[in-house]
Structure 1
């Protein structure tokens, strides 16, 4: 296969918007029938409050069905002679990102995107959209494009309101804070929102595919260096009435040894304190 094929990418996108999203909608809706729900899909819905890992918690039969469904946009362009390596990689990355994003329980998409480009609301879901599916069960069945919920009248009426309220948020002051900083360039992927298999073995860097994510690791370092103007929360736990959080200073080990970085690092620490 060639590295890139524009026609194949277009075909892949159309196949996802059309057959994949449509079939997923009706398959997902069928899974909520009491017969299938009690035997299969209820396992996934045990997570009322979702996390990114919830995206891959399914019984084997469901996982197999999703695997076959998501292979359609990759296999058909290859069969037609328009497949490409980068097209397959980007489609897999898109699926992983969109599934994790929808279950992360905080909004990544700013409001202005939907205001300036209203059709986006039909082609891109939000975490608040999917959270309603896990709390109300009978609405918001679409995979990542709510267009079919609008067409078949299963869109939860409180979706937009919840999105607005989520953006405003509520300010909570933690009782306990663990202030730390990033270590190696690959430490980002040891977080729970990174790669699950890597996060489960934080002291083991000898994974064969780790070298493949070095470009992304370097990019995340540059972004943290340029835009990291304050500590950020990577984990928040609540034990009865006690809230505990882990805050990370957006600087890596090697940056602490740079004289020119000392002032900015001290400022970040003081600001966090």
Structure 2
């Protein structure tokens, strides 16, 4: 049995823990505080729910800021990224909000006079500030130092708060019930004092509590927000307000910087870390990290844009799927899309480390449908070109292009940029060689015939030429006899007989292996016989209409186990899995290959790239 108050009583409830708010919601609906003449003695329930919703918003907004790497990457304190393990550890970060909500509700029921506070009294602000400095700060300092000073207390009550590797806003909410009950006392003392002095107000409760949360989130942020010049101009501020660097030192070393918000108490207690100001100056001055590899992605649609790592962490940390609450937020995401379209720039989305090398996701602010607008090609190519030139200037070794960024009709699979800038040091890679390898290695060895749509695309051509060399019949769906003949002539003479042109889906009604490179409808899927397996390399993936058939995922590979800092799922893929074109760029970088991989796929290199991927620990899904 664990120590008392070391675990949350609703741990086993999962998402049903939010039903604990039910009595408050019911009381609000029963009392109808917004109607004139209704019972106003319960209006505090509404304020309580609003307040705790706003508190959750403060933590979410700080997380969004902390994760907007395109804005804050140069001022990060700990260079690592938040990984899936930390995200899972912090999944229930909001437990303390439920605890404090219930605690305040019980206090209001016990002392009805708390329900009748005026809206505002300016004197309460001064009283609360004074009590915060005199009571809250020293009380927190002593209790916090005790949690570290006694091994039993640390092991049973405080270790959880220090378990995350990279402090984030949500880390501030991680802790045991005992810790947060102590915080309730620390935060409630100034408010209770103001109330007893007759100067308490609803506005003071909102303002003090939200400011308290704001400062806690700021301290747990992994981004230094204060310019060092501020402290050089006003040195006394160093003792009145802590910085994210100051509090991060406490999380890293656990032997100093115990204050709540005011380092003055660490000075008085002799627990100030000597490195605090020097490190703050160093980090606030900015730092530049040059990645070895960049994957240049794009947004698929408006809904999937909310799967970005800096929006909702609990959403981006699992494979993408449309959720009801995401649909509700669609109008806001649509407006943001228009703003990004008007004031667009390539931005850093996420990063991870593999074999000691930094890999970054860059995203251009273009959505899937933008690529099919006839007037948008030049704008998209300009964005891709700027990203490549930026990577080249930084010293990036390899930049890999995601699905639509290497569209043949758009830029010839990246050929446009290589031809325009022949002196590029960065290697441009479309990754399609490994994509082809993944698809080909999914096909059972005993297959004698396949049906191929998108047959004259880069991938379709490479797959057809590879399979015909293996003496597998390929039914190539295309209306262009000229393009078919051009591909057929690339095959060895003795293998050309295994390539056949078809113009209708009905031609594959006896073929159970379909390789789909072009989106197909339900009617077209019905042409496949029962038991067909649909391999695919089409974006977006085809819809699984047939229950009597099986559907493969987009070509993908699982990253090696030693990858670090990966905390976002790549679209619909599982954790630790990336699209094959992404993995192809990783392999290109790890192998140190010096050629560009653009344009047509070199069929002779398919097996070479596949073996290189396996050698470096990447595995098929």
Q: Structures share a fold, TM > 0.5?
A: yes
The 5-angstrom pairing of residues 1-273 of structure 1 reads 1-33=117-149, 34-79=151-196, 80-85=198-203, 87-167=204-284, 168-173=286-291, 175-180=293-298, 204=323, 206=325, 230-247=345-362, 271-273=386-388
Q: Report the CA distance shift for 1:204/1:123 in structure 2 as closer, same or farther (over 3 A).
A: farther
Of the structure 1 ranges 231-240 and 4-13, higher mean CA displacement relative to structure 2 is found in: 231-240
Unaligned runs of 5+ in 2: 1-116, 369-376, 389-621
Once the two structures are superposed, residues 184-240 of structure 1 have per-residue CA deviations (whole angstroms, 9 ceiling, x without a partner) of 7xx88x876677778789955749xx99xx9xx89xx7xx88xx7855445333234
Is the 1:177–1:246 Cα contact (8 Å) retained in structure 2?
yes
Q: Report the CA distance shift for 1:269/1:178 in structure 2 as closer, same or farther (over 3 A).
A: closer
Is the 2:298–2:365 Cα contact (8 Å) retained in structure 1?
no
Give the secondary structure class of the aligned counterpart of 2:145: helix
Aligned-residue RMSD, C-alpha: 4.3
Instruction: Tell me the residue number matched to 2:553.
Output: none
1:251, 1:95 → 2: CA distance?
38
Q: Which has the higher helix share?
A: 1
Is the 1:128–1:162 Cα contact (8 Å) retained in structure 2?
yes
TM-score, length-scaled by structure 1: 0.73
Relative contact order higher in (CA < 8 Å, ≥ 6 apart): 1
Once the two structures are superposed, residues 147-181 of structure 1 have per-residue CA deviations (whole angstroms, 9 ceiling, x without a partner) of 10111111001111211222232423252345457
Is the 2:132–2:190 Cα contact (8 Å) retained in structure 1?
yes
Structure whose alpha-carbon radius of gyration is higher = 2
Unaligned runs of 5+ in 1: 254-261
The number of aligned residues is 263
Once the two structures are superposed, residues 244-267 of structure 1 have per-residue CA deviations (whole angstroms, 9 ceiling, x without a partner) of 4344668999xxxxxxxx999987
TM-score, length-scaled by structure 2: 0.36
Is the 2:291–2:359 Cα contact (8 Å) retained in structure 1?
no
Give the secondary structure class of the aligned counterpart of 1:243: strand
1:77, 1:265 → 2: CA distance?
58
Q: Which aligned segments of 4 or more residues in structure 1 are displaced greater than 4 angstroms? A: 178-181, 190-207, 228-232, 246-253, 262-273
TM-superposed CA distance for 1:134, in Å, is 1.7
2:325, 2:347 → 1: CA distance?
28
1:14, 1:252 → 2: CA distance?
52
1:121, 1:198 → 2: CA distance?
38
Once the two structures are superposed, residues 115-152 of structure 1 have per-residue CA deviations (whole angstroms, 9 ceiling, x without a partner) of 22222111211121112112221110011211101111
TM-superposed CA distance for 1:2, in Å, is 3.8
